[in-house]
Amino acid sequence: MTPAADDPRTRAALTGYQAGAVRWLAGGLIAVVLGVLLAAAAVTIARDSGRQLPLAGLLVVSLVFVGAVAAVAGAGALLRYHRWWRALRTVPWQTGVLRVAGPAVLAFEPEGYDELDPTADPVRLRLTSTAVWRTRAVQQLHDAVVRAAPVGQREWVLTADGVPTVYGARRVARR
């Protein structure tokens, strides 16, 4: 049993995911800092010249709010990256076919899965990302052979050859 984290493709995919998380975190922090600097500049200009800058307040609030949201999203992605990295150091990849039933509804059929066997069930997953581009990228993997690994009690990570990142999904109970 070779841990998934020992695969160079896995390291590259996780590095891509980490880079995206760092970009979101850094971009959010930069936006917050710019918002604070703009607020200080607007206050200084208003105090020294007595002239107010139109829309400066709206721009400051927008920069700080959007920046804070982006920074939180980036920090969450970094935490997820570390959690996935730790888990992938202990579990191997399982290869199988990915079936896409909707925008975020997936079924992973591990190697050896027999759809005619009434006792066999695929791993039913729901994509955790809400980003449209990530959802579409996973939808393009319909009927493709992918690698998947459980990284928690209900969480799975999947990737495929030629895919520069990993995708998170939550296991859903069968109804």
Q: Could you tell me the residue ranges of all domains in the chain?
A: 4-88, 94-171
Check whether 66 has a pLDDT greater than 80.
yes
Long-range CB contacts (within 8 A, 24+) of 136-139: 137/163, 137/167, 138/98, 138/100, 138/104, 138/106, 138/167, 139/100, 139/103
Burial class (CB in 10 A: 0-12, 13-18, 19+), 40: exposed
Instruction: Give the angle subtended at the CA of 93 by the CAs of 81 and 161, to the nearest 5°.
Output: 80
Residue percentage of the chain with pLDDT more than 90: 69
Quick one: which of 125, 120, 154 has its CA closest to 141?
125
Question: Residue range 25-53: average pLDDT?
Answer: 94
Mean pLDDT of the residues in the chain: 91
Q: How confident is the model at residue 31 (pLDDT cuts 50, 70, 90)?
A: very high
pLDDT of residue 125: 93
pLDDT tens, residue by residue, 88-120: 999 999 999 999 988 888 999 888 887 777 777
> 122 falls in which pLDDT band (50, 70, 90)?
confident
54-68, 71-85, 94-108: least confidently modelled range: 94-108
d(CA 162, CA 103): 21
